[in-house]
Amino acid sequence: MLESEENIKEKVRQHIFKATLSDGEIIKDDSPIFELGLLNSMGLLYLIDFIKKEFDADVTDNELTKENFESINNITSFVNNKLQKKND
């Protein structure tokens, strides 16, 4: 069963909130999480591990682009596309 995009977004959002330990800081779905310093390279590794475990989706080296991981919205779209391709 395919997860809804909103469900994926909520899981990604919760992971990023926990990873950044944001103290009530508002992180919008389109906030540039790396430019704002919310996640660093180690945070990206944890995010990739989270995506693999939570959604059973592998992330290849050539998919590690700014476009795929810039914001919660971008990450959600990336995961959603991975899951759709996997189920085709």
What's the confidence (pLDDT) of residue 23?
59
- CATH number, domain at 65? 1.10.1200.10
Q: Quick one: pLDDT at residue 20?
A: 76
Indicate the SS3 state at residue 32: coil
| pLDDT score recorded for residue 24 | 57
Residue range of the domain that includes 64:
5-81
pLDDT for residue 62:
96
Whether 86 is covered by a domain: the verdict is no
Q: Provide the H-helix boundaries in 40-71.
A: 41-55, 66-69
Residue ranges for the chain with pLDDT beneath 50: none
75 falls within a domain: yes
Q: What is the tally of structural domains in the chain?
A: 1
For 17-39, what is each residue's pLDDT tens digit?
888 765 556 789 999 999 988 88
pLDDT of amino acid 18: 86
The pLDDT value recorded for residue 25 is: 65
Residue 10 included in any domain: yes
Distance of CA 86 to the CA centre of its chain: 17
